[in-house]
Amino acid sequence: MNLNKKTVFLIGLSCLFTLILSVRSLSSFKVVFCDVGQGAATFIQLGSYQALIDTGPDGRVLSCIGKHISYFDHTIETVIISHNQKDHNGALLSLSQKYHLAHVYGPAPQPPFLDDSQFTEVKDTDILYQNSLTITIHKASQSSSSINDSANVVTLKTPHQTIFLSSDISGGELKGLMPIGTTILEVPHHGSKYGLFPDSLDLALPTLAVISVGARNTYGHPSHEALDILKAKNIPIWRTDTQGELEINLR
């Protein structure tokens, strides 16, 4: 094979590879808990639709998304920010520079780099429908002065699964907010001892607990208190600090 033929062959091969990856992402329905270190970023892929709940602190979310989104897709349809702390919203600007963010839901103030038409302040509850997926965004508390307890929590409901993303709310708030029938719980506040109380799971018992947490973080997350509560209820625990990125197929 001469050089030109070899070059054409390699270009053709890489195009084919890109096409296969793109077709694969178009047919997938999954949730990915990105490994963004200490923070949270949850990516939903439903065919050509993508949603991201929180961005984590920095550009690590971009490499996570890049692995799952089609090479030809430069739009993230829905971005939800739970609250304005760096471990949850720190990469929003860099995300907006790499992708077109069709719509962002979050707390005030509106980020200056987003247009009015791109941003909705979550004041109570917003519900989004996308084929078989229903996304409910709910401001956890209207009255709390705590930025964590007034975060936006998110429920992802499919015909077979209910995923509750609890941001950094405390264990007391969780009990009344987590839907009955939740299958996957993102454990509040990275597994902080304030995120799960012994009675937090009395009303709804998830079948899987996911903890989005950085390895060797200085907060001591996840706490042994939170882990003990989950273990006592025989709930399997998946952790981004020990397992890296966590991907779950949805249906």
- Residues binding Zn ion (CB under 5 A): 87, 168
Cβ closer to Zn ion: 87 or 186?
A: 87
Q: Which residue has the tokens 């929003």?
A: 92
Decide: residue 194, CB within 10 A, 0-12 exposed, 13-18 middle, 19+ buried.
middle
- What residues pair up with 129 in beta bridges, in sequence order? 134
Closest C-alpha to 174, from 160, 159, 156, 194: 194
- What residues pair up with 127 in beta bridges, in sequence order? 136
Shortest CB 82 distance to Zn ion, Å: 8
Closest C-alpha to 44, from 197, 181, 158, 144: 158
Shortest CB 86 distance to Zn ion, Å: 9
Cβ closer to Zn ion: 77 or 87?
A: 87
Cβ closer to Zn ion: 25 or 192?
A: 192
Shortest CB 156 distance to Zn ion, Å: 19
CA distance 245 to 238: 10
Shortest CB 106 distance to Zn ion, Å: 14
Shortest CB 40 distance to Zn ion, Å: 6
Cβ closer to Zn ion: 69 or 187?
A: 187
CA distance 249 to 177: 24
Cβ closer to Zn ion: 191 or 206?
A: 191
